[in-house]
Amino acid sequence: MNELSLVSLRNSLASARFLLSAVILIVAAVALQPGTKALAKKYEKKPMAIRKPLSAFDISRLPSFQTGWKYSWGREQIEDIGTAEYMHIILNRKGLIPEPKQVELLVTYYNNPRDKVPHTPDVCSRQEGAIIRKLSTLILDVPALADKHSKIKCRLVIMDFETVSFADIYLFFVEGKFRHTREQVRWDLGKPGNSRTYFSKIEAAVVFPTGGDPSHAIQACKTMLAEALPILLSEHFPTDEQITAR
């Protein structure tokens, strides 16, 4: 067999192997697609409804804010926060009482598997012109949740606007676990295991004089969260049994 014939033979064999490989890949893709869809359907998480609407949260049960305060409900644009299930409580001091003058509690609840994790206060406030003075992680003590969640990691943001400053402490509660970053929330939402899904963003914010000492504001945020979280977990958010039930 001459050299030209050998080259032609090798080219023919290479073409045949290429076509065979292509056919195998196409057959495998067609065969795998139903199986992949079946697995996705089996492990896809379903929405978990909240037990009790956040609009029914009982403000009068917050011990530190029962007297000397007047409260109102803030109204949010659903397209801004991404959910209709939320509560925004604004408490203002009555009379000439020392700081803090105003405390806010904002809780949002999401349960669509395709819901996006909302931006955190440090991101949103920058877009509104704030200067971030401090961004750190802190441990929140919640004695009423001593069994499972007595010490909870949160994020603290101190931000300065032209006319006012804010201390803001925020955290997430996702499928029964506290988290303090968006990345942790995304990871938990994407993990298989639970049959149902939900997550909540919880934040307490306190106004204080522009550029002033945030110590009292930070403590007020901690107090608000330490008193509100046990109510949210015991009455509003789903139980662990609900999200794992098949």
d(CA 141, CA 182): 21
Give the DSSP H/E element, type plus range, for residue 24: helix 3-43
Q: What was the pLDDT predicted at 89?
A: 97
d(CA 243, CA 246): 8
Report whether pLDDT(225) > 90.
yes
Distance CA 74, CA 136 (A): 27
Of the chain, the end-to-end C-alpha distance in Å amounts to 69
CA 123, CA 109: separation in Å to the nearest integer? 19
pLDDT value for 10 = 54
Whether the Cβ atoms of residue 216 and residue 99 lie closer than 8 Å to each other: yes
Note the pLDDT of residue 94: 86
CA dihedral 93, 97, 101, 105 (to 10 degrees): -50
Q: Are 209 and 165 in contact (CB under 8 A)?
A: yes
| Section 205-209 average pLDDT | 94
Question: What tens digit of pLDDT does each residue of 15-25 get?
Answer: 656 565 545 55
Q: Considering only residues 2 and 59, tell me which one the structure prediction assigns the higher pLDDT.
A: 59
131-150: per-residue pLDDT in tens? 999 999 999 999 999 778 87
Q: Does residue 12 register a pLDDT over 60? A: no
pLDDT in tens, 39-53: 445 567 999 999 999
- Burial label for 242, CB within 10 Å (0-12, 13-18, 19+), is middle
Residue pLDDT, tens place only, 145-185: 977 887 899 999 999 999 999 999 999 999 999 999 999 99
Residue spans of the domains in the chain: they are: 1-43, 46-244
% of the chain at pLDDT higher than 90: 60
**CB of 124 within 8 A of CB of 91?**
no
What would the mean pLDDT of 185-190 be, rounded to a whole number?
94
